[in-house]
């Protein structure tokens, strides 16, 4: 893209402040900025006009989760169905590792964080070890797709390679980068991170399938006849990935998706829980719940809204392809973002100053129309690391690992 083309494109959308410092840049910086302008998706900006409109929710009703009792009763048959699928190569795995991990504040990508106490135990290593348990059980390798972002891609690839992929067969690991979205001021102007770079952030955990497609990996799904994808977060170091019983249960119940869930610890636990919204699976956040909903009971006398999501999902690939062309809603959040002011100074604000755009994976579940909430034991499968200390932290995850006899 030439300077004139960039200028015309940006003037048309009222964003030519992006070129403020262009004439003072070195030629390689000018080229990089023009390329970034060419490849940035500015269509997110249209969404900003909805920012003051309250979130419109449909009618919320409870969803029935498959609880541990029912799972135990059917364990053998679910596992048989799931193992058969895995052995036929029909399952692939997607690790979502494109997030910024700002709350943890680690230097590198979140998965490179070392939670070991007497030896090195990296978050990525824990996840690979968990997958290897199922690989050994099934006796086949499972394709693992790892989503990074432009901010951590090189470091993540290098980390895996320098640790010999923690024993995983490297031909079965496929990295891809997620899309980035521009960061915008409250006045609707795209911010500059430096005089020669537009400020961008990863576009949320819901953009993974579109990004996989753009990276050409859906071709591999077809070639390898991968029909199911188990998508999971980077930060839960105890999760059971490629779990045959979960896969078997979702297939047996003819659902297009499945979501591992954990039972709330008490009525007021501040977690989003699974529900139906206008008859389709969804999540209701704690602050959206009325007292009436918090006290509502199901036919067994248990709380009707009792199961929180843990970001471990199964998706049917043909169903994903059916919705792929549909448009997921864009969410926006007002957050802190470093930026370059009119005088070329880079500022790091203490207060939120900018809008970031994100797609949510939950909206995919909603679009797919059917989902099996599948209860897992939180003591055995849920040790998320969001913070260094306090709730959902390195400390709580270490304690749970110890309880599960994992040597740290």
Residue numbers at the binding site for ligand UTP (CB under 6 A): 96-103, 110, 147, 178, 202-205, 233-235, 311, 386
95 vs 221, which CB is nearer to ligand UTP? 95
- The least CB distance from residue 79 to ligand UTP, in Å, is 26
- The packing angle between helices 244-252 and 123-138, to 10°, is 70
Residue 307 in tokens? 């199961």
77 vs 154, which CB is nearer to ligand UTP? 154
- The least CB distance from residue 48 to ligand UTP, in Å, is 18
Residue 382 in tokens? 């849920």
Query: Look-up: residue for tokens 């602050």?
Result: 287
121 vs 276, which CB is nearer to ligand UTP? 121
251 vs 361, which CB is nearer to ligand UTP? 361
- The least CB distance from residue 104 to ligand UTP, in Å, is 6
Determine the Cα–Cα distance for residues 203 and 391; give it in Å rounded to an integer. 26
Whether residue 230 contacts residue 85, with contact meaning beta carbons closer than 8 Å, is answered with: no
Please state the φ and ψ torsions of residue 155, each to the nearest 5 degrees: -65, -40
Pick from 46, 40, 71: nearest CA to 381: 71
- The least CB distance from residue 371 to ligand UTP, in Å, is 18
What is the SS3 assignment for 157?
helix
- The least CB distance from residue 134 to ligand UTP, in Å, is 19
263 vs 356, which CB is nearer to ligand UTP? 356
What is 332-385 written as a DSSP string? EEEE---EE-TTS-EE--SS--EEEEE--HHHHHHHH--EEEEE--HHHH--B-
Q: Which single residue brings its beta carbon nearest to ligand UTP?
A: 99
180 vs 249, which CB is nearer to ligand UTP? 180
194 vs 387, which CB is nearer to ligand UTP? 387
What is the chain's length?
408
Q: For 301, which DSSP code?
A: S
- The least CB distance from residue 171 to ligand UTP, in Å, is 23
- The least CB distance from residue 138 to ligand UTP, in Å, is 24
- The least CB distance from residue 373 to ligand UTP, in Å, is 18
Pick from 209, 212, 213: nearest CA to 257: 209
- Cα of first residue to Cα of last residue in the chain, in angstroms, is 52
30 vs 393, which CB is nearer to ligand UTP? 393
Please name the helix (run of DSSP H) or strand (run of DSSP E) that holds residue 245, with its range, or none.
helix 244-252
């Amino acid at each position: 893209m030439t300077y004139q083309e960039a200028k015309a494109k940006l003037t048309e959308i009222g964003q030519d402040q992006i070129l403020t410092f262009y004439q003072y840049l070195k030629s390689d910086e000018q080229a990089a900025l023009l390329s970034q302008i060419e490849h940035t998706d500015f269509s997110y900006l249209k969404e900003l006009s909805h920012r003051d409109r309250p979130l419109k929710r449909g009618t919320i009703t409870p969803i029935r989760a498959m609880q541990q009792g029912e799972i135990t009763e059917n364990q053998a048959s679910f596992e048989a169905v799931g193992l058969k699928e895995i052995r036929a190569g029909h399952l692939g795995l997607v690790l979502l590792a494109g997030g910024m991990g700002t709350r943890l504040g680690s230097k590198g990508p979140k998965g490179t964080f070392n939670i070991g106490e007497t030896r090195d135990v990296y978050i990525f290593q824990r996840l690979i070890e968990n997958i290897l348990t199922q690989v050994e059980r099934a006796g086949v390798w499972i394709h693992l797709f790892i989503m990074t972002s432009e901010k951590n891609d090189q470091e993540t690839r290098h980390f895996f390679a320098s640790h010999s992929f923690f024993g995983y067969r490297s031909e079965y690991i496929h990295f891809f980068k997620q899309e980035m979205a521009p960061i915008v001021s409250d006045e609707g102007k795209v911010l500059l991170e430096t005089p020669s770079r537009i400020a961008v952030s990863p576009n949320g955990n819901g953009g993974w399938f579109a990004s996989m497609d753009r990276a050409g990996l859906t071709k591999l799904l077809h070639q390898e006849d991968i029909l199911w994808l188990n998508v999971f977060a980077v930060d839960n170091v105890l999760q059971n990935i490629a779990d045959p019983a979960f896969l078997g249960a979702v297939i047996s119940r003819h659902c297009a998706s499945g979501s591992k869930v954990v039972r709330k610890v008490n009525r007021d636990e501040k977690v989003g829980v699974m529900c139906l919204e206008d008859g389709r699976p969804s999540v209701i956040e704690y602050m959206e719940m009325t007292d009436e909903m918090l006290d509502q009971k199901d036919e067994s006398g248990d709380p009707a809204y009792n199961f929180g999501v843990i970001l471990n999902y199964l998706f049917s690939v043909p169903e994903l392809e059916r919705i792929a062309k549909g448009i997921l809603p864009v969410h926006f959040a007002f957050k802190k973002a470093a930026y370059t002011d009119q005088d070329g100074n880079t500022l790091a604000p203490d207060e939120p100053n900018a809008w970031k755009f994100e797609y949510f994976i939950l909206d995919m579940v909603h679009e797919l129309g059917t989902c099996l909430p599948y209860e897992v034991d939180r003591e055995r499968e849920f040790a998320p690391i969001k913070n260094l200390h306090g709730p959902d932290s390195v400390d709580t995850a270490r304690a749970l690992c110890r309880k599960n006899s994992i040597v740290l």
